[in-house]
Amino acid sequence: MGKMAAAVGSVATLLFRFYRQSRPGTADLGGVIDFSVSHAARGTGPGAAKVVKSQLNLSSVSDHDALRAGLQPVSKWQAYGLQGYPGFIFISNPFLPGYQWHWVKQCLKLYSRKPNVCNLDKHMTKEETQDLWEQSKEFLRCKEVNKRRPRSLLEKLRWVTLGYHYNWDSKRYSADHYTPFPSDLAFLSEQVAAACGFQGFRAEAGILNYYRLDSTLGIHVDRSELDHSRPLLSFSFGQSAIFLLGGLKRDEAPTPMFMHSGDIMVMSGFSRLLNHAVPRVLPSAEGDSLPGCLGTPLPADLPRDSVVEPCSLEEWQVCASYLKTARVNMTVRQVLAVGQDFPLDPTEENKRDITAEGSCHLDDDNSQVKRARLSPDC
From the list 333, 336, 316, the residue with the least C-alpha distance to 324 is 316
Three-state DSSP class for residue 286: coil
Evaluate the omega torsion of the peptide bond into residue 115 and state whether it is cis, within 30 degrees of 0. yes
Three-state DSSP class for residue 280: strand
DSSP 8-state assignment for residue 237:
E
Asked whether residue 220 is marked as a ligand-binding residue, the answer is yes
From the list 206, 148, 211, 203, the residue with the least C-alpha distance to 336 is 203
Three-state DSSP class for residue 24: coil
The number of CA neighbours under 13 Å toward the Cβ of 101 is 24
Asked whether residue 260 is marked as a ligand-binding residue, the answer is no
Asked whether residue 361 is marked as a ligand-binding residue, the answer is no
Contact 243, 257 (CB under 8 A): yes
Q: Which residues is 79 bridged to in the sheet?
A: 91
The beta strands (E) that lie in the chain are given as 51-53, 79-82, 88-91, 117-118, 159-163, 205-212, 216-220, 232-238, 241-245, 255-259, 264-267, 276-281, 326-333, 362-363
C-alpha to C-alpha distance for 274 and 130, rounded to whole angstroms: 36
109-138 core/surface letters (b: 16 or more CB in 10 A; e: else): bebbeeebbbbbeeeeeeeebebbbeebbe
Residues ≥6 apart with Cβ < 8 Å to 126: 114
Residue ranges of the binding site: 220, 222, 276
Residue ranges of the binding site for Fe cation: 220, 222, 276
